[in-house]
Chains A and B, each alone.
Chain A
């Protein structure tokens, strides 16, 4: 089953601005796809639509085979909870909470029973190499650690798709490589990884890169 499939997806904002103009995209499980494009090309709008954070104006978007356009909000919330994992550029770490508490927010939101939480947190932190920072406050983490925490949070509930918005934008080369390695590991486990990026190294790392321009895909970049 295709992890996600978009067909003729459009998004027109109030005022008539067409941010997406008929986007078609298929991403298979375990595939790494990079979406590149200049600022204002519609990358974030596309990520919002794929992440069910925003409703497309028209078109079709199937997530794990389920049509999401026109879906009621509760079901969209549920799909986002169960099928998707997000990694943002600034990590969105809750600075006053500990690393473990940051992860607990995700587990509580996903209604994971309390008894299952400690092993999941331990496993997730071990995967990203943050076990030793379990009780550190989020604000005390370095940029690379924050991004690893964001990835740990994204993979906590074993999503089918990880959507990452400039995940390496604030990181140096070493940490950028760590993030790519973590995504590789997820892809090997069958998770579809969609990354919006300006980083040529990330675009080169992906199995497939597509260029978004004026709300449309123009071409696939050579890999």
Chain B
């Protein structure tokens, strides 16, 4: 008679002899066989996972590609204007006072005819402190693709600074903006002045150019030759030397305009009085609120914007900020984030839907395989062993489906980009995240069916058909 087999007593692990790796290998092998013998169902579930993960990844990928394209389109079509300002706090650092502006003279060395000189010439006060160097415009213009550049400094609202038609009669005016500007500013703002007189803004002569609304309010007729007409600013006489014309397409630095609470509109018809930049600088005593408007070749704004500060202040670029570039970057990030969230939301909804479908399919599979579950339990499989088979099936189908989904997403992103003429954005994560996402969907989907399978009574299961 054969000896009775020894059954280890409680407290010992009877399966210590079998390595975990071997148990895992058995489980994977078992799962793969189960999946292969139910090929049709496996392929359907795998396709569902592939489609959902592919849709999720592709929607995020397409949104990123679209956001990138939107940013590029904005840059290419609209960004040819940059505003450089003094970073908040940037003017507090010590700088050398600006040199007094040279007296403008004609070719013969005499003061230009028709302008105030001698004892009547208004004083411009003490030398102000500046962040922008005197040759800021020349430095900006040295950059390739920069068409025009010029500083502006608004003095409206300073105590005692007002503009009147005469020195003794207060006029009825509203909303007049007094702005000092360099000649290049008018070019950058796409404004013209008669007879190319913009150069008169280069010095500190008491001259003004008027927008049509300002001329109207001040009672200055808009004639071709305004010689003899004067306005009073801050108690000093300024000669009217011309009127603003041109498209005025540049609205000025929107972000800084908003910061200063100013009317950012710089247009021929605006109620604006333009004086030499140096005079405005003298009135304010600092260029902390000055900005430089830079006009570039179409689409070059981003590239120029990234080097502009270094070109103007190579010694301290951090004291300046190119606000329009920041605005664009922020806009692009915002578009990308919002599109990404929208796409991820739709994708997540699809993933949840797929998880529910897979769970439903697996519950049906558990019911269909009740006899097999009973057999496994009779052979000694624990609840956990049975549950692991179903969890493993979910994980394997999920990982394989996710892999296919990642590949599908790549095709979709590249296809969408090709159809729309975009540059496809296909980061590595797009492929790597597929199996992980699919595996997660598969495991989550299989959890309930697996638990349910583990809970089936073996006594009932062995008698199931």
Contact = CB atoms under 8 A, between A and B. Distances in A.
Interface of A: 1, 3, 29-30, 44, 48, 51, 53-54, 64, 66, 73-75, 77-84, 86, 88, 92, 94, 96-97, 101, 105-106, 108-114, 153, 158-160, 189-191
Nearest to B371: A92
Interface in B369-386: 371-372, 374-383, 385
B401 interface: no
B422 to A, nearest CB: 48
Given A30-B1, A64-B7, A191-B2, A109 B376 contact: yes
Given A53-B462, A111-B17, A82 B37 contact: no
Contact of A81 (B18, B23, B380, B463): B380
A108 B462 CA distance: 19
A110 B380 CA distance: 7
A86 B461 CA distance: 14
Interface string B309-328: 00000000000000000000
A44 B378 CA distance: 14
A221 B42 CA distance: 52
B30 interface: yes
B171 interface: no
Contact of B18 (A51, A79, A106, A111): A111
B411 interface: no
B5 A158 contact: yes
B15 interface: yes
Given A66-B7, A96-B37, A190-B4, A53 B17 contact: no
Contacts of B380: 77-78, 80-82, 84, 106, 109-110
Contacts of B25: 114
Interface in B250-276: none
Nearest to B382: A77
Q: Ordered nearest first, which 7 A-B pairs have the shortest CB separation?
A: A81-B380, A190-B2, A96-B37, A54-B459, A48-B459, A111-B15, A108-B26
B453 to A, nearest CB: 15
A101 B372 CA distance: 14
12 contacts: A78-B14, A79-B7, A80-B378, A80-B380, A81-B380, A86-B462, A101-B33, A108-B30, A109-B385, A113-B17, A114-B22, A190-B3
Given A53-B459, A111-B18, A82 B382 contact: no
B305 interface: no
Contacts of A191: 2
Contacts, number: 110
Contact of B4 (A64, A79, A86, A105): A64
B449 interface: no
Contacts of B38: 96
In the complex, which range does the number of interface residues on chain B fall in? 35 or more
A95 B82 CA distance: 75
Contact of B5 (A51, A66, A159): A159
Given A48-B459, A111-B15, A114-B22, A83 B7 contact: yes
Contacts of A81: 379-381
Contacts of B457: 53-54
A117 B5 CA distance: 18
A76 B96 CA distance: 91
Contact of B463 (A44, A158, A159): A44
B33 A82 contact: no
A86 B33 contact: no
A113 B371 contact: no
B23 A111 contact: yes
B2 A189 contact: yes
A46 to B, nearest CB: 11
Given A110-B380, A160-B5, A53 B458 contact: yes
Interface string B342-375: 0000000000000000000000000000011011
B15 A105 contact: no
A53 B379 contact: no
Nearest to B14: A78
Nearest to B457: A54
Contact of A83 (B5, B23, B383): B5
B2 A86 contact: no
Contact of B377 (A53, A82, A88): A53
Contacts of A30: 1-2
Contacts of A97: 33, 37
Given A29-B1, A82-B7, A108-B30, A92 B375 contact: yes
Given A105-B376, A111-B23, A113-B17, 6 more contacts: A53-B459, A66-B7, A77-B381, A92-B378, A111-B15, A113-B22
A53 B378 contact: yes
B85 to A, nearest CB: 73
A114 B377 CA distance: 21
Contacts of B23: 111
A19 B314 CA distance: 96
A105 B17 CA distance: 18
